[in-house]
Structures are given as C-alpha cells and as structure tokens.
Amino acid sequence: MIYPVIMAGGNGTRLWPMSRQAYPKQFLSLTGSEHSMLQETVRRLEGLNVAESLLICNEEHRFLAAEQMRQLGHLDHNIILEPAGRNTAPAIALAALTARQKNPEALLLVLAADHTISDPDAFRDSVKSAVPLANEGELLTFGIVPTHPETGYGYIRRGEPRDCAYSVAEFVEKPDAEAAQNHLDSGNYYWNSGMFLFRADTYLEELRTFRPDILEACESAFNDANEDLDFIRVNEKAFLACPSESVDYAVMEHTKRALVVPLDAGWSDVGSWSAIWDIAEKDMNGNANLGDVLNHRSSNNLVMSENALVATVGVNDLVVVQTKDSVLVAHKNHVQDVKHLVDTLKQSDRPEYRLHREVYRPWGRYDSVDKGTRYQVKRITVKPGEKLSVQMHHHRAEHWIVVSGTASVTVDDATTMVTENESVYIPVGKVHSLENPGRIPLELIEVQSGSYLGEDDIVRFEDRYGRS
C-alpha cells in the first residue's frame, strides 16, 4: 500500500505579496484553480491505490492544513506537526515511522504540497511503473525531463537503465548557464524534483546507516507522540535536538539503491512569479491575467488582482500583483529578488511580511477593514458551530454589530443571543466570548476602540483549539 507523504512546510517568500509567512503558497490557488496547491496535490492522487495521505506541516499552519484537508474529505488524524523545521530527511523519517506502524510493508510517495503538474495521468503512470522497483527495496526519485537550460534547479545524472528507471550516477548542484545548456544537450540529466517513492523500512534502514543521529532523534520524538484533534504531535524537545538535513544529503547521495524515474508531466515547482507566468493561460499578447485586469498596448505581463481593478498601459515583461494591503511591481527578469523585499519588511517589523489583511483562524476569519488612531474596524466571519476563545482585553473595548446569522455572546456570566441588525458592547476588562450556534456563517462588524489595539492584548482563559 502506498502512503502519500505531502510536505507542506515553507514560506514561499518569492511569491510575496500573495504568499506570506502565516499563509504561504501551498495553501493558495495561484494558477486559476478553485483549489489550493495543497489540495491539487491531494486530488492528483485520485486513480492511484493509496492510503490516506500523511501531511507534514508546522504548528502555525496546522488549522489551515486541517481545513483544506477537511474540504476534500481527507482529514483523518493524519497531520504530523513539526515543532520546528528540520528539513526533509527528519520529516520523511517521522512519516516513515508513522506509516510503518500502520503497515510494515508501507510504500512512501513523498510529494511537495507546492508543485504543479499539468498532466496528472502521466504522473500517475510514472508512479505505477515505479512501484515494483520500490517494493524490491530500491529508493526511487522522479527526475523531470528538462525543457530548457534551467539554472534554478539541481540536476540528476542518469546511469545504467533498469526497467522504467536508471541508476543515479550523480546528484548535481544548481549549474551556471553554460553547464545547464550542456546538461540539456547531453540528454542524460534530469531536474531534481524532490519527489520520491520507497519502502518506509528501506528508508529507515538507509537513514540508520548514513545518519543514525537523525533517526535516533526522530525515533525518540515519535515514540513520545500524542494525538491532538486531527494532529500527531511528536515530542518537541527530542525533535528540536535533531540535526537539520535534506533527504538528498542524508541518504540519496550515499545509498547504492538510488534510481531515477524520468517524468514528463508538465511539472513546475512554482518558485517565482515568472514561473507562474510560464504555466498560466495567456491572451494573444502574452499577458497572463488573474482577477479584474485590463491591458492596453501591453504584452508578456503577469497581472494578478485580488479585489480591485488593475489596468496596464504600454508596459511589457512586468509582474503586477495587487492584494488588499500591498502592490508588487517587478520586472520578470528580477522576480527572484522579491525575497529581499520580504527580508526588508521583516527587519522593519512590518506586518505585511507575515499576515494578509484577511487572517484565517480555526473558527473562521477576520478582515481588517480600517484602522486609525485609537480605533480599528474588522469584518468577522465565524463558521457554524465554532467559538472564539474566552478572553479579555486590558486596553480596548469592542462593539459587535451582527450583519447576518445569530451570535451567542457571553460577557462575564451573562449570555445573550444577538441577531441581524442588533449589536452588543464589550467594555474594557470584561471576560467575553463569541459563538455561532446556527447553521449558517455568522457575519459581524467589530469596532475596537482604545489606547492599544494589538493582537497581543488578548488574555485567553479557555480555548477549544488548544491555543495559549
């Protein structure tokens, strides 16, 4: 049985302002699909004989991951939480230990949550062809048939053929332009996709051989794991002691069992805005437009609009991305430098590097509509049956006006039902909570007023989601 392992870490800083630390690219739809890239990764498995996916992510993104898996009907106590990022070798070790416990002969299909594949049938065919070799104890990686001399990817040089695969002769670091052209011309090199297929026990054996320190730390963390809602929490102290290393460096570059399976399925790691333009549908002038966009005498641009009209006149080869709180304008040849903007935002302690204006929570979401001196206005959406934490604030009072649905509001020991076009006032220092007892989303406007309006002015007394 194949156990898909979906790696959903990372922040995607090169895709700012859409991708941000609290809501990175794997949870976004950046290609016009109605599903996020994580969800497309799960849906791509349909047609394969697979068990429920094991998703690996961090604490900050756990509720996002759970909600997106729930929407697909694939949430079943199957999200492994890393206390901190330790790269791919430890993450896969945790998945291998989990899968082996379920099935001693489990195969792991290791995938990234933020890649796109335009030909899923070809992808599934490659996986099926590789299964017999994986069952024999080989460690297979999928090498992307290159279409151009790419300098942004690592390469794999193939050796002797074996059934549907080749032995791995060499892993090659990202080349310069001349070397990339030589790799392409030779026909013996593939892009390193970071996708793998192997038995869980085989991977653990090889990890024990080459990096026993990683395996020991992961085993210690896994053996003291516990389930929390749909999450598998490993021991934090033990996992933090684990070295950080990629699966390539830890195992694949050392093992004698490595094979590479050629994959020609329209793959992209969507690592930059120019990569989005490459795979997007374009008009007759080469413009890729997503959202409310108008172009005049403009060509070869990527223009994305979240909630406003964006118009271009007489410009070429640009990336223009509009969100509710930020606008990016960049030349396509310089989009790799977007990460430097994010570093500047982070060093300046600006919230735009981390949060969107609209912020998702396990109970729903809020949109910061307006903010000024001593006041802030938010539109809050609470999902049916969900409840915000029991809390209080030292510095702000709040007015809640219900737009649609019904709210159950508790202030100190008094609980009242507040319906459409009604409001309630929460004074400073009062312990309060908000719940949606109905069957439709609760929409309300919150007006905060006070001397300090930061999100850290929240004292939680009770929270059903385990937040401190």
Report how far residue 168's alpha carbon sits from residue 150's, in angstroms, rounded to the nearest whole number.
20
Interval 451-462 mean pLDDT: 93
Identify the pLDDT of residue 208: 98
Report how far residue 398's alpha carbon sits from residue 447's, in angstroms, rounded to the nearest whole number.
6
* Alpha-carbon distances of 307 from 184, 248, 357, rounded to whole Å: 42, 41, 12
How far does Cα 117 stand from its chain's mean position?
16
- Cβ proximity of 381 and 365 under 8 Å: yes
Task: For 40-79, give one letter per residue: b (16+ CB within 10 A) or e.
Answer: bbbebbeeeebbebbbbbbeebbbbbbebbeeeebbeebb
Identify the pLDDT of residue 11: 83
- CATH code for the domain defined by 358-462: 2.60.120.10
Which amino acid does the sequence have at 419? T
Rounded to 10°, the helix 200-210/212-223 angle is: 130
Identify the pLDDT of residue 455: 87
Strands 107-112 and 116-117: unpaired
pLDDT band at 1 (very low <50, low <70, confident <90, very high): very high
Interval 404-426 mean pLDDT: 97
Interval 55-74 mean pLDDT: 94
> In residues, how long is the chain?
468
pLDDT digits (tens, 9 = 90+) for 181-208: 999 999 999 999 999 999 999 999 999 9
Round the average pLDDT of the chain to a whole number and report it: 96
Would you put residue 348 in left (φ > 0), alpha (ψ -120 to 50) or beta?
Answer: alpha
Report how far residue 405's alpha carbon sits from residue 389's, in angstroms, rounded to the nearest whole number.
19
pLDDT digits (tens, 9 = 90+) for 336-360: 999 999 999 999 999 999 999 999 9
- Cβ proximity of 96 and 80 under 8 Å: no
Q: Where in the chain is the domain with CATH 3.90.550.10?
A: 2-268
- Cβ proximity of 200 and 438 under 8 Å: no
Q: Could you tell me the pTM of the whole model? A: 0.92
- Cβ proximity of 126 and 261 under 8 Å: yes
Q: Where in the chain is the domain with CATH 2.60.120.10?
A: 358-462
Sign of CA dihedral 139, 195, 130, 198: positive
Identify the pLDDT of residue 170: 95
Cβ neighbours for 185, distance < 8 A, ≥ 6 positions apart: none
Please say if the pLDDT value at position 316 is more than 90.
Answer: yes
Please say if the pLDDT value at position 417 is more than 80.
Answer: yes
Phi, psi for residue 281 in degrees, rounded to 5: -70, 145
Class of residue 380 by CB neighbours under 10 A (exposed 0-12, middle 13-18, buried 19+): buried
In the chain, pLDDT over 90 holds for what percent of residues? Answer: 95
* Alpha-carbon distances of 272 from 24, 307, 340, rounded to whole Å: 13, 22, 13
Report how far residue 441's alpha carbon sits from residue 327's, in angstroms, rounded to the nearest whole number.
30
Task: For 230-267, give one letter per residue: b (16+ CB within 10 A) or e.
Answer: bbbbbbeebbeebeebbbbebbbeebebbbbbebebeb
Q: Does 2-268 carry CATH code 3.40.640.10?
A: no
Report how far residue 392's alpha carbon sits from residue 428's, in angstroms, rounded to the nearest whole number.
8
Interval 416-425 mean pLDDT: 97
pLDDT digits (tens, 9 = 90+) for 378-388: 999 999 999 99
- Cβ proximity of 31 and 304 under 8 Å: no
